[in-house]
Amino acid sequence: MDLLNTLVDKGLRRELPSRDEALAVLATSDEDLLDVVAAAGKVRRHWFGRRVKLNYLVNLKSGLCPEDCSYCSQRLGAETGILKYTWLKPDEASKAAAAGLAGGAKRVCLVASGRGPTDRDVDRVSDTIKTIKEQNEGVEVCACLGLLSDGQAERLRGAGADAYNHNLNTSEATYGDITKTHTYADRVDTVQKAHAAGLSACSGLISGMGETDEDLVDVVFALRELDADSVPVNFLIPFEGTPLAKEWNLTPQRCLRILAMVRFVCPDIEVRIAGGRELHLRTLQPLALHLANSIFLGDYLTSEGQAGKADLEMIADAGFEVETTDQVTLPEHRRAGGCGSVCGSQDKAAEAPADTAPAEAAQPAPQAEAPAAPGPRTDLVTVRRRGAGTDVAPNA
């Protein structure tokens, strides 16, 4: 397919596809799906080989959030039955982190519910980061604490944080439909603050919330523009008790197309399959490893993932290998402060009018017959009852 050849060539050159080309990936038929995976897989292997980076979530503070994000099981007033607890102590967090690291993870993601940290919270998390770093040589630590105020990113960096996560989640145009208590601009501002403080910016999206293909392309282009180093792709977990509980919109095939589109737009960026992997990709999870170079090991913040051992077996069976601490995730050109001016100029070139004329190859393919509606798979959603905040051994 001309479209795929074009996208592979651009991906190998780190050149931004046109919006029409990105949309065309989302519009490919099931008949063409393996060709799409193979093409995006070439780009993935070029920049990341067959390595899979494992990340481990530690939920430092769960539930009780004053914000109203409609997709979130921890939102204000949600009756989702999730674990609710306040800040883990540094040793408790370090113990949870160590379980993930022993399971093969190289990055620990320290997450706390809430609009954003107070300065006291930043002190607390700084102590936790220092404890984890002292006890686990070579570990990467990412903090995810919500909207940052001036100076907080610098303090986290000073405490040893390597990265900061704050997702854009969806397009600017639809952001107000999913959250009223803060804005898309607030989120962009926090990603920029993290970047400016020298933290590696991690920012991603949630698909399956009822968005259009244009929304998905918009948010992925925005993430590339923000120069995120890692892009988590979440597939909505429609938690009972949240406003999006009825949004069962994703098929495994749709998830693969979304990941392929993200890979083509972000060829040399860590693309991470995040929440909803088991729920929506189901038996096609191994194919998704040809697109993403990073996953979460074990459980998510408030829901359970498949056993960590099953994650490792899947990676080995699919012919991939777990990335070790002595292997650097990002390609050489991205290691010193992102992709910088070279990549930036390519982005601008790709946005020039000549490139926006839809080539024949970029025309959306006619849709094949849609697969049967997936139907709600509430049987696959399990509230997390182990690991951080409990006395039960973690899944790692």
**Residue 146 binds ligand SF4, judged by CB under 6 A:** yes
C-alpha 28/C-alpha 42 separation (Å) is 18
Nearest distance from residue 188's CB to ligand SF4, in Å? 15
The residue to which tokens 């926006």 are assigned: 356
* Token pair recorded at residue 224: 């590339």
Given the residues 75, 124, 257, 272, the one annotated as active site: 272
Count residues binding ligand SF4 (CB under 6 A): 9
Is 144 flagged in the annotation as binding? no
Decide if 72 is catalytic. yes
Decide if 202 is catalytic. yes
Helix (H) or strand (E) holding 119: helix 119-135
Is 266 flagged in the annotation as binding? no
Given the residues 19, 51, 75, 109, the one annotated as active site: 109
Considering the complex, state which of residue 126 and residue 165 has its C-beta at the smaller distance from ligand SF4. Answer: 165
Is-contact 179 67, C-beta < 8 A? yes
Nearest distance from residue 298's CB to ligand SF4, in Å? 20
Question: Which of 165, 226, 149, 233 is closest to 199 using CA atoms?
Answer: 165
Radius of gyration, CA atoms only, the chain: 20
Residue 110 CB neighbours (<10 A): 27
C-alpha dist (Å) from residue 145 to 22, 66, 115, 151 = 31, 13, 8, 14
Scan residues 36-65 and list those touching ligand SF4 (CB under 6 A).
65
C-alpha 99/C-alpha 90 separation (Å) is 14
**Residue 94 binds ligand SF4, judged by CB under 6 A:** no
Decide if 255 is catalytic. no
Is 69 flagged in the annotation as binding? yes
Given the residues 14, 19, 44, 72, the one annotated as active site: 72
Is 339 flagged in the annotation as binding? no
Given the residues 19, 65, 75, 157, the one annotated as active site: 65
**Residue 168 binds ligand SF4, judged by CB under 6 A:** no
* Token pair recorded at residue 202: 């991690």
First to last CA, the chain: 41
Task: List active site positions.
Answer: 65, 69, 72, 109, 142, 202, 272
Annotated binding site for [4Fe-4S] cluster: 65, 69, 72
Contacts with ligand SF4, residue ranges (CB under 6 A): 65, 67, 69, 72, 74-75, 113, 115, 146
Annotated binding site for [2Fe-2S] cluster: 109, 142, 202, 272
